[in-house]
Structure 1
Amino acid sequence: MKILSVLTSSTSVPAALDGAELAAAALPGACVEALEVVVDPAHMMASSEEISIQQLRELREGNAEQRARATREAFDSWNAQRGTKAAPVAWRAVTGAETDSVIKEAGADIALIVMAHDANMDATDALHAAIFSTRRPVLLIPTGWRPGARPLFSHIAVGLTDDDTMRRAIIAAEPWLRAAARISAISIQDRGDDGADPASMWPLPAITPDFVTVPSSHETIAARLVQEADRLNADLLVVGAYGHLEFIEWLFGGVTRDLLKVADLPLLLAH
């Protein structure tokens, strides 16, 4: 069983790899593989528009060779600081389109895809492919995040809604929920709302979380979830990703899109 850490910039390498190691702590026998996709317009089968966009990147990010070299140097630097007793992390580099490469590399032995939340084209393409096309849960790490002394994700918050996408996300997160010392299932409810009992929304009878009900406010559901997770000092927030079609969320807004904007802690996403 593997955890695939997709590296999408040299600056976010430590966050992506730290997150993958923490996730691996909950999966006995799991190993981490670092994947760099070298997106080189000179070796792409793509439309002329896509190739032109990739060529324009070079003005601010450097060419494909320079980006690949910087990412490998960041990986080597991170690896050198881990000590001789740390479990080895494999390195793999492939050349191709980000989307196709992530889908191809997310084979049957991949339990989780880990990425940092970079604001670049490669990261956007990789996240889209990981969420919509791999059928794997995705651990998204804030770019500057570091785990500190955490040995694993010990306190996990869950954004609880009466929704099949959310239930699938909780089931996908089961290995990490089982390893956690504390689980807080957060539901956002309007004042006076007589909606579903939070316990009835929870799909894992063998795991009992602390149910936390938070009143809604003028802020978005995403902002309220993140604020409550931070208040509870959670290490990780589990959420369903894109319960509606991605295009609909992009056009009209949605919880997932808002979460990607405001989250300051790792997110475990499943579509």
Structure 2
Amino acid sequence: MSFQDIVVYLDAGANTVGRVRTAADLATRYRARLLGVDISTKAAREGDSNDAALAIQQRFETSLQGMNVNFTYRKASADARTPEELFSHSADLLVATQTNPADSHLSNSAVPEAVLLGSGVPMLVLPAGWTGEKSIGNNIVVAWNISREATRAVHDALPLLRTAQCVYLFVFAPNYSDDNEDVQDMKAHLERHGVKVILAGWRDRGETDMTSALFANLDREDADLIVCGAYSHSPFSEAVFGGVTKILLSNISMPVFMSH
């Protein structure tokens, strides 16, 4: 299993350069085809952003010249709303950026959240201001809670997990123990896939919430990527992960690999 087709979303905003740089790095690493999808809005072709919107294809193609990457450019309709209209279905990975209030009017509002929740394809969500100069996937924290979404994320992320220097399996539960059967089962499963796993569980004693515990772990483990499930309106997931999807899509300062 590997990434064969990667979609990177393009717009006239300041985050596109770093986003393309990271997507190209992944496409090179996994010898994948890179599809750049222009998701500019009608507003992007007005006023000061017009020149940047008109130059999106040229800048995308120029940035990839000389790299050993098979790439293609597509332009989505300004009225596109469905994952299909945004070219997400024929892909193994989507690359987007958190919504940035400063230039959110320049790109389709369905990206990232609606496409992530509706496409069935995992998404790498980069933080606003990401330059793409840092490599990702050396030290990965997997947020694991035995849910369908978390299970999907772990398996979708296997190409990254296999090549990581270390993968920290983070579990937040009142009865957490390294010896718990379900924890050991997942650790052994990942190790059979060639993943180097360290258990990084947190026993929930009611003193903190899951998100705070996860962020504390990120600092402790010097992580550069989070892998987790993307949760929508399930009462179970809201009780377990407490709105962490919204937080990770808007407030985290490192890349997040999410599946729904």
TM range (shorter): 0.7 to 0.9
Where in structure 1 are there 5+ consecutive unaligned residues? Answer: 41-57
> Is the partner of 1:118 in helix, strand or coil?
coil
- Hey, what's the Cα distance between the residues in 1 that align with 2:214 and 2:60? 32
1:210 partnered with 2:192: no
Q: CA deviation at 1:234?
A: 1.6
Where in structure 2 are there 5+ consecutive unaligned residues? Answer: none
Q: CA deviation at 1:86?
A: 5.2
> Is the partner of 1:126 in helix, strand or coil?
coil
1:115 partnered with 2:99: no
Contact preservation (8 Å) 1:13, 1:75: no
Q: Deviations over 1:97-141 (max 9, x none)?
A: 242365451233x11110011232645412233222211101100
Counterparts in 2 of 1:87 and 1:100: CA distance versus 1, 3 Å: same
Counterparts in 2 of 1:262 and 1:143: CA distance versus 1, 3 Å: closer
Counterparts in 2 of 1:125 and 1:67: CA distance versus 1, 3 Å: farther
> Is the partner of 1:146 in helix, strand or coil?
coil
RMSD, matched Cα: 3.2
1:182 aligned partner, one-letter code: C
Q: CA deviation at 1:238?
A: 0.3
**Partner residue in 1 for 2:219:** 230
**Partner residue in 1 for 2:184:** 199
Aligned counterparts, 1:180-191, within 5 A = 180-190=164-174
Percentage identity across paired residues of the two chains: 20
Which TM-score applies when normalising by structure 2? 0.77
Counterparts in 2 of 1:154 and 1:184: CA distance versus 1, 3 Å: same
Which TM-score applies when normalising by structure 1? 0.74
1:30 partnered with 2:12: no
Aligned counterparts, 1:25-104, within 5 A = 25-27=28-30, 29-40=31-42, 58=43, 63=45, 67=49, 69-71=51-53, 73=55, 76=58, 84-85=66-67, 87=69, 89-100=71-82, 103-104=85-86
Q: CA deviation at 1:241?
A: 0.4
- Hey, what's the Cα distance between the residues in 1 that align with 2:181 and 2:53? 47
Q: Deviations over 1:116-171 (max 9, x none)?
A: 11232645412233222211101100121234353x52222111212221011100
Contact preservation (8 Å) 1:157, 1:236: yes
Residue 112 of structure 2, aligned match among 127, 130, 149: 127
Contact preservation (8 Å) 2:36, 2:74: yes
**Partner residue in 2 for 1:268:** 257
Matched length: 244
1:14 aligned partner, one-letter code: V
1:6 partnered with 2:9: yes
Contact preservation (8 Å) 1:7, 1:36: yes
Counterparts in 2 of 1:176 and 1:71: CA distance versus 1, 3 Å: farther
Q: Deviations over 1:42-69 (max 9, x none)?
A: xxxxxxxxxxxxxxxx5xxx54586464
**Most deviating of 255-264 and 62-71:** 62-71
Q: CA deviation at 1:84?
A: 3.0
1:210 aligned partner, one-letter code: I
- Hey, what's the Cα distance between the residues in 2 that align with 1:154 and 1:23? 13
